[in-house]
């Protein structure tokens, strides 16, 4: 029998049609869009500015510290030798200490621990990972509604490829996350982000690539999860259980090197750490090509592995 | 073109290894006819449709649509069918037109062709004036019409309608029936529909299959089915608390008597003439008839005859009930 329908949708056509639907829905809901922009502002304000870690090392915080007198045996001194002890008075020592603090010991400590001089720059970049993770985890949830409202079944009865259905969701999550990453970066720059000398506009493409890799892996898994859980509440519970722990067991807000060993172990396999580090390398840190390569390799392996697992599970569900 | 548009052989679907939703079903749908699946919620109607529209794989048996195997050639099937699902699946955040164009994209119809067809379809279902309004603002009837337009965007040879008038008020239901009749008449389209409204099956379908517990109990035209009952149905109640089935049976032309909790369903030829004789016979034995009604057979009688229960009494599965409630809620909104 001859083919009855002259049109056969290409894979890309289907992906684009379904992605366009999601984006349209998103753009038509100004409140959600506004929230998506406000959320990082609030977090950056609260974490980045309220947790003023750099300021902890300023002289004002050490005003009540008194260094006691120090007595030295006289023979330690350069000639002329003296018998008995020499006393360096407390006042001189305290004054010296205060002077040292005002000579920017704070920024040096920050530089040693965080790699940058101000905490705001450190955390506002980490904020990108935070938002990317949130957006991605929740975006899979829309398929629960698509299924409940029958939209999924309708799409399944059309010749659009099953892969296109899955991939459009993943793509949608990634595009949203990239949009938010852009907003955060722009806002952070406006609020005083200190970019390193190696930063260039090309680096932004690198950030997108890193964000995309994490989104690909995470959203594939969460999509499969959403397809299999019959209620959106289940998905909510899982997301709420793991998102904050994943966030704090990473370098998003605090350097891994300062954490206890067992948290370090988690943080070193946590893909969030690698995304955050990659973005920091590309923005505020002097670019270190080898560690950036390492970050991208890890993110790449994570993305491919989890995308395969997620897509395989979704595929099995959609072709049951 | 083959005369048999849809052909199902021993089609079976078992969920979770023990819940048999559709049980070795055989039927075929001829070119240009409206074929109806009639049964209560949970009888297996939607499961059957879902297998035919290739979104569920049969556990056993096979079926074909326009000669394409629903499993092996599922993409060919998808290209030639249109589906109007039970739920309102249109995206509420998009406008009517955007929804139709989205459907067109899913079939890979080029934009210029799609726009032309969308305009025609919107006119057909009388939504042209509302095409740029969000679907959120649509009434239940408008949504149903939009679903119909979406289902027709690829010029399907067969249209599947799952409970097309669920949750609609009487006027909108009648309007929907008219659309369905027109599709059949104007486009010579073959339609497969499910319904649990007897009057709907009676009004629209050329042939009806009554399905119960996943099995087809009988197939035929509404007239054939009614005729097969062989006579009118007299329903009566008596004041006394006694079983008078045997007594009624002695009256001439009475073919069958069933006692259903004190209410007697009597099948008799020449109902008008027989009824007075029954009353007389009962009165002579000292019984008083309190109620009597007579009906020419309807599909309800057919249904009762073949499934042993009234349409209204059938209990609904929790899932079907939930879906139905949700659809109704959206219809009212």
Mean pLDDT (whole number) for A99-117? 77
Clarify whether residues A97 and A232 are in a common domain: no
Q: What is the pTM of this model?
A: 0.77
Clarify whether residues B143 and B15 are in a common domain: yes
Nearest to B94 among A8, A21, A157 (CB): A21
pLDDT confidence bin for A127, thresholds 50/70/90: confident
Clarify whether residues A135 and A280 are in a common domain: yes
Contact check, Cβ <8 Å, A157/B54:
yes
Clarify whether residues B40 and B181 are in a common domain: yes
Per-residue model confidence (pLDDT) at position A80: 65
Chain B residue with minimum CA distance to A14:
B106
Cβ neighbours for B140, distance < 8 A, ≥ 6 positions apart: B88, B167, B168, B169, B172, B330, B331, B332
Clarify whether residues A68 and A145 are in a common domain: no
pLDDT over threshold 50, residue A169:
yes
Q: Give me the percent of chain A exceeding a pLDDT of 70.
A: 92
- Walk along chain B (333 residues) and give the pLDDT tens digit of each residue: 447 899 999 999 998 888 889 999 999 999 999 999 998 877 889 999 999 999 999 999 999 999 999 999 988 999 999 999 888 899 988 999 999 999 999 998 999 999 999 999 999 888 999 999 999 999 888 998 999 999 999 999 999 999 888 878 888 888 889 888 988 888 889 999 998 888 888 889 999 999 988 899 899 998 888 877 777 888 888 888 888 888 888 888 888 888 888 788 888 877 788 889 899 998 998 888 888 888 877 777 788 778 776 655 544 455 555 665 566 555 544
Clarify whether residues A87 and A164 are in a common domain: no
CA of A229 to nearest chain B CA: how many angstroms apart? 16
Contact check, Cβ <8 Å, B110/A7:
yes
Kindly state whether residue A2 falls inside one of the protein's structural domains: no
Clarify whether residues A29 and A89 are in a common domain: no
Q: Domain of B256?
A: 230-296
Clarify whether residues B171 and B211 are in a common domain: yes
Kindly state whether residue A5 falls inside one of the protein's structural domains: no
Mean pLDDT (whole number) for A167-185? 88
Instruction: Tally C-beta pairs within 8 A across A and B.
Output: 99
Evaluate whether ipTM surpasses 0.90: no
**Lowest-confidence region among A131-135, A253-257, B317-321:** B317-321
Do residues A132 and A212 lie in contact, with contact meaning Cβ atoms separated by under 8 Å? no
* Residue with the larger pLDDT of the pair A93 and B27: B27
Contact check, Cβ <8 Å, B83/A157:
yes
Clarify whether residues A131 and A75 are in a common domain: no
Nearest to A9 among B53, B85, B106 (CB): B106
The token pair that represents B123 in the structure block: 């006119």
Kindly state whether residue B245 falls inside one of the protein's structural domains: yes
* Residue with the larger pLDDT of the pair A23 and B228: A23
Per-residue model confidence (pLDDT) at position A286: 86
Clarify whether residues A65 and A191 are in a common domain: no
Clarify whether residues A226 and A311 are in a common domain: yes
| Total domain count, chain A | 2
Clarify whether residues A41 and A76 are in a common domain: no
Clarify whether residues A91 and A151 are in a common domain: no
Mean pLDDT (whole number) for A279-308? 92
Per-residue model confidence (pLDDT) at position B327: 61
Last residue of a domain, one of B166, B191, B221: B221
Last residue of a domain, one of B221, B244, B271: B221
Buried b (16+ CB within 10 A) or exposed e, A150-178: bbbbbbbbbbbbbebbbbbbbbbbbbbbb
Q: In A, which residues are within 8 Å of B91 by CB distance?
A: 21, 25, 151
Clarify whether residues B215 and B155 are in a common domain: yes
Contact check, Cβ <8 Å, B103/A158:
yes
Clarify whether residues B209 and B266 are in a common domain: no
CA of B274 to nearest chain A CA: how many angstroms apart? 52
Chain B residue with minimum CA distance to A30:
B93
Per-residue model confidence (pLDDT) at position B332: 46
Per-residue model confidence (pLDDT) at position B240: 85
Per the DSSP assignment, residues forming a β-bridge with B29 are B6
pLDDT over threshold 50, residue A12:
yes
Strands B34-38 and B207-212: what pairing? parallel
**Lowest-confidence region among A14-23, A280-289, B230-239, B312-321:** B312-321
pLDDT over threshold 80, residue A52:
no
Clarify whether residues B192 and B282 are in a common domain: no
Per-residue model confidence (pLDDT) at position A305: 95
Kindly state whether residue B32 falls inside one of the protein's structural domains: yes
Q: Domain of A212?
A: 11-51+115-318
Per-residue model confidence (pLDDT) at position B311: 55
Per-residue model confidence (pLDDT) at position A200: 86
- For all residues of chain A together, what is the average pLDDT? 83
Kindly state whether residue A110 falls inside one of the protein's structural domains: no
Q: Give me the percent of chain A exceeding a pLDDT of 90.
A: 17
What CATH code is carried by the domain that includes residue B286? 3.30.70.100
Clarify whether residues A132 and A182 are in a common domain: yes
Clarify whether residues A165 and A279 are in a common domain: yes
Kindly state whether residue B318 falls inside one of the protein's structural domains: no
| Total domain count, chain B | 2
Nearest to B78 among A17, A150, A157 (CB): A157
Which residue is associated with the tokens 């006027």? Answer: B171
């Amino acid at each position: 029998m001859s083919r009855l329908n002259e049109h056969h949708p290409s894979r890309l056509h289907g992906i684009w049609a379904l992605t366009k639907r999601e984006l349209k829905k998103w753009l038509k809901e100004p409140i959600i869009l506004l929230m998506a922009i406000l959320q990082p502002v609030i977090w950056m304000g609260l974490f980045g500015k309220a947790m003023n870690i750099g300021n902890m090392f300023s002289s004002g915080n050490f005003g009540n510290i008194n260094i006691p007198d120090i007595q030295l045996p006289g023979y330690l001194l350069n000639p002329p030798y003296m018998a008995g002890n020499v006393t360096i008075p407390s006042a001189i020592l305290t004054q010296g200490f205060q002077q040292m603090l005002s000579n920017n010991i704070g920024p040096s400590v920050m530089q040693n621990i965080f790699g940058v001089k101000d905490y705001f720059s450190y955390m506002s970049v980490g904020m990108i990972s935070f938002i990317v993770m949130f957006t991605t985890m929740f975006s899979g949830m829309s398929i629960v509604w698509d299924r409940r409202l029958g939209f999924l079944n309708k799409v399944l009865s059309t010749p659009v490829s099953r892969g296109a259905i899955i991939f459009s969701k993943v793509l949608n999550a990634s595009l949203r996350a990239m949009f938010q990453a852009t907003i955060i970066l722009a806002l952070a720059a406006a609020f005083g982000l200190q970019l390193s000398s190696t930063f260039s506009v090309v680096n932004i493409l690198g950030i997108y690539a890193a964000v995309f890799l994490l989104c690909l892996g995470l959203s594939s898994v969460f999509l499969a999860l959403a397809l299999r859980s019959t209620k959106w509440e289940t998905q909510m519970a899982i997301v709420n259980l793991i998102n904050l722990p994943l966030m704090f067991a990473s370098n998003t807000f605090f350097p891994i090197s300062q954490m206890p060993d067992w948290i370090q172990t988690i943080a070193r396999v946590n893909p969030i750490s690698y995304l955050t580090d990659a973005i920091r390398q590309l923005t505020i840190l002097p670019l270190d090509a080898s560690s950036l390569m390492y970050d991208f390799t890890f993110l790449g392996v994570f993305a491919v592995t989890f995308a395969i697992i997620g897509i395989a599970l979704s595929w099995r569900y959609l072709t049951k | 073109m083959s005369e048999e548009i849809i052909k199902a052989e021993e089609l079976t679907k078992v969920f979770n290894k023990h819940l048999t939703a559709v049980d070795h079903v055989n039927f075929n749908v001829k070119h240009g006819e409206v074929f109806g699946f009639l049964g209560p919620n949970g009888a297996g109607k939607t499961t059957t449709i879902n297998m035919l529209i290739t979104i569920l794989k049969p556990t056993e048996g096979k079926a074909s649509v326009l000669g394409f195997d629903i499993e092996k050639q599922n993409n060919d099937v998808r290209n030639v069918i249109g589906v109007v699902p039970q739920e309102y699946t249109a995206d509420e955040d998009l406008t009517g037109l955007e929804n139709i164009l989205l459907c067109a994209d899913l079939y890979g119809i080029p934009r210029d062709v799609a726009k032309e067809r969308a305009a025609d379809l919107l006119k057909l279902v009388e939504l042209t004036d509302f095409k740029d309004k969000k679907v959120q603002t649509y009434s239940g009837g408008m949504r149903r019409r939009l679903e119909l337009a979406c289902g027709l965007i690829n010029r399907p040879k067969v249209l599947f309608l799952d409970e097309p008038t669920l949750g609609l008020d009487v006027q909108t239901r009648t309007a929907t029936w008219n659309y369905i009749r027109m599709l059949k008449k104007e486009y010579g389209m073959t339609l497969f529909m499910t319904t649990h409204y007897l009057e709907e099956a009676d009004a629209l379908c050329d042939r009806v299959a009554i399905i119960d517990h996943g099995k087809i109990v009988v197939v035929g035209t509404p007239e054939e089915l009614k005729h097969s009952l062989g006579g009118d149905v007299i329903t009566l109640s008596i004041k006394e608390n006694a079983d008078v089935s045997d007594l009624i049976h002695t009256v001439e032309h009475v073919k069958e008597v069933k006692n259903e909790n004190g209410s007697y369903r009597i099948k008799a030829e020449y109902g008008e003439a027989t009824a007075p004789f029954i009353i007389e016979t009962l009165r002579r034995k000292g019984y008083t008839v309190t109620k009597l009604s007579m009906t020419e057979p309807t599909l309800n009688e057919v249904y009762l005859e073949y499934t042993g229960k009234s349409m209204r009494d059938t209990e609904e599965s929790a899932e079907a009930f939930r879906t139905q409630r949700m659809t109704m809620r959206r219809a009212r909104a």
